[in-house]
Structure 1
Amino acid sequence: MKRICTVCARGGSEGVPGKNIRPLLGKPLIAHTLEQALDVGLFERVAVSSDSADILGVAEEYGDVETIERPEELATSESAKLPAIQHAVSEVEDRCDQVYDTVVDLDATAPIREVEDIRNAVQLFETTDASNVITGVPARKSPYFNLVEKTANGYVKLSKPPDEPIVRRQDTPECFDMNASIYVWGRDAFFRSDVEPIGKKTRLYEMEEHQAYDIDSEIDFVIVEAIMDHTNQ
């Protein structure tokens, strides 16, 4: 089984400018994810995709990685992430004359993960009938109980009204927040034109509650740094 790991990091972050190479506990944010990808010992190649020469330069300082210059059309704030991952995988396969069986993407903005989480998520994919694996944490709010949405007339309603009234949140169906930490696909399914993060046979690898955060804002950066400092990551 041959596996490739991608780490995608745009240079043009709007919520937290320069976040992917901003220091987090003494090292660039992206370095935490790269070290995890290299330490887990599962991947033939780790590929970093970016439109930023600075990010690619930092990535090269943190181990044996393939750096991929991401095309401009795949690096706008409106660009979907999946095409960028596909581009990175294709580039590495061409360079190395190798086709990989399993594609794993680690989000640089979600560094609160353990090496064992990566290993377990890959194992879940490779030992079940899953089309792909995503990660998540137990949701703090339930769409069946205390998560609401606005209607066209300005009122609110439960996002997912249950068939029968539920009076305790503990009695609601189990729900999870996606935490954007780890994604796993089989290569052939990943390169289908209709690939999506969630399909009919997507499985979830459950992570700990404190691993809920990915960095999209300044306050996220503060929270993630505090959690990683507290947990000695």
Structure 2
Amino acid sequence: MKRLCTICARGGSKGVKNKNIRPMMDHPLIAFSIKQAKQSGLFDCVAVSSDSKEILEAARKYGADLLIERPVQMATDESAKLPAIQHCVSEVEKQLKVTFDTLVDLDATSPLRIVEDIQGAVELLERKQCSNVITAAPARRSPYFNLVELNTKGFVQLSKKLDQTIVRRQDSPKCYDMNASIYVWSRNALHGANSVFYEDTMLFEMPEERSIDIDSEVDFMFVDFLLNQKRDLYETLFL
């Protein structure tokens, strides 16, 4: 069983400038994902894809096995991430002349995950032999109870209705917030895919406190606070 980990990090972030190499706990943000992948012991190769020389240099410094230059057209504000992952996988397989069985992408802006989350998501895919696994946390709002939208007349209604009235959120169907932290695919599923959802997509649950994705300055400050609250745990990545 051969496994590849990709970490795709473009240089043109607008919400938080240079966030992928911005220092956090004295290390560039992308370093957390590289070190977590390495410490998991799962991967034959950890590859970082970027359009930024600064990001690729930071990735080299923190132990990435391969550096993949992302094409400019895959690194715009409008670019989807999935083609960048597919490009990275294709380039790694071409360079190493290896075909990987399990493909994992770690989001560089989700440093709060722990090694056991990566191991658990990969184990779930390989045990269930499904197309892919996504990670998510229990949702704080339920479309059946307290998540609302405006209808065509401009009036408020629940986003999803059930036949029976729900009077407690705990009684509504379980819902989850995708945290974009870890994606796991079988090779056949990733090849040619244009969505992360398949008929047999499975979910690996992570707690809310490990599911924050940095997309704003407030996110960055909050994640930095949480990392420092468990500094002893995360510092072990860099020993």
Q: TM-score, normalised by structure 2?
A: 0.95
Partner of 1:139: 139
In 2, distance between residues paired with 1:66 and 1:152?
Answer: 51
8 A contact 1:189–1:195 mirrored in 2: no
Alignment: residue pair count: 232
Tell me the secondary structure at the aligned position of residue 104 of structure 2: strand
Per the TM alignment, residue 152 of structure 1 is displaced from its structure 2 partner at its CA by: 3.2
8 A contact 1:137–1:209 mirrored in 2: yes
In 2, distance between residues paired with 1:24 and 1:223?
Answer: 11
1:203 aligns to 2:202 (yes or no) = yes
8 A contact 2:34–2:64 mirrored in 1: no
Partner amino acid for 2:153?
N
In 2, distance between residues paired with 1:214 and 1:208?
Answer: 13
In 1, distance between residues paired with 2:230 and 2:148?
Answer: 33
Tell me the secondary structure at the aligned position of residue 179 of structure 1: strand
- Identity, in percent, stands at 57
Per the TM alignment, residue 195 of structure 1 is displaced from its structure 2 partner at its CA by: 3.9
8 A contact 1:135–1:204 mirrored in 2: yes
1:191-224 deviation per Cα after TM superposition (whole angstroms, max 9, x unaligned): 03x4411221010000112112100000000111
Partner of 1:172: 172
Partner amino acid for 2:195?
E
Tell me the secondary structure at the aligned position of residue 220 of structure 1: helix
Q: Runs in 1 of length 4+ with deviation above 4 angstroms?
A: none
In 2, distance between residues paired with 1:149 and 1:212?
Answer: 25
Aligned-pair Cα RMSD in Å: 1.0
CA 112–53 in structure 1, closer or farther in 2 if over 3 Å, else same: same
In 2, distance between residues paired with 1:186 and 1:145?
Answer: 35
In 2, distance between residues paired with 1:64 and 1:139?
Answer: 33
In 1, distance between residues paired with 2:79 and 2:151?
Answer: 29
Gaps of 5+ in 2: 235-239
Partner of 2:237: none
Partner of 1:5: 5
Partner of 1:149: 149
1:167-198 deviation per Cα after TM superposition (whole angstroms, max 9, x unaligned): 00010111111001000000111003x44112
Of stretches 154-163 and 75-84 in structure 1, the one that deviates more from structure 2 is 154-163
In 2, distance between residues paired with 1:64 and 1:75?
Answer: 20
1:80-109 deviation per Cα after TM superposition (whole angstroms, max 9, x unaligned): 111100100110111111010111000000
Residues 123-138 of structure 1 mapped to structure 2, 5 A cutoff: 123-138=123-138
In 2, distance between residues paired with 1:33 and 1:129?
Answer: 25
In 1, distance between residues paired with 2:47 and 2:64?
Answer: 9
Per the TM alignment, residue 155 of structure 1 is displaced from its structure 2 partner at its CA by: 2.1
Partner of 1:16: 16
Per the TM alignment, residue 64 of structure 1 is displaced from its structure 2 partner at its CA by: 4.0
8 A contact 1:30–1:108 mirrored in 2: yes
Of stretches 77-86 and 148-157 in structure 1, the one that deviates more from structure 2 is 148-157
Partner amino acid for 1:217?
S
Q: TM-score, normalised by structure 1?
A: 0.97
Tell me the secondary structure at the aligned position of residue 15 of structure 2: coil
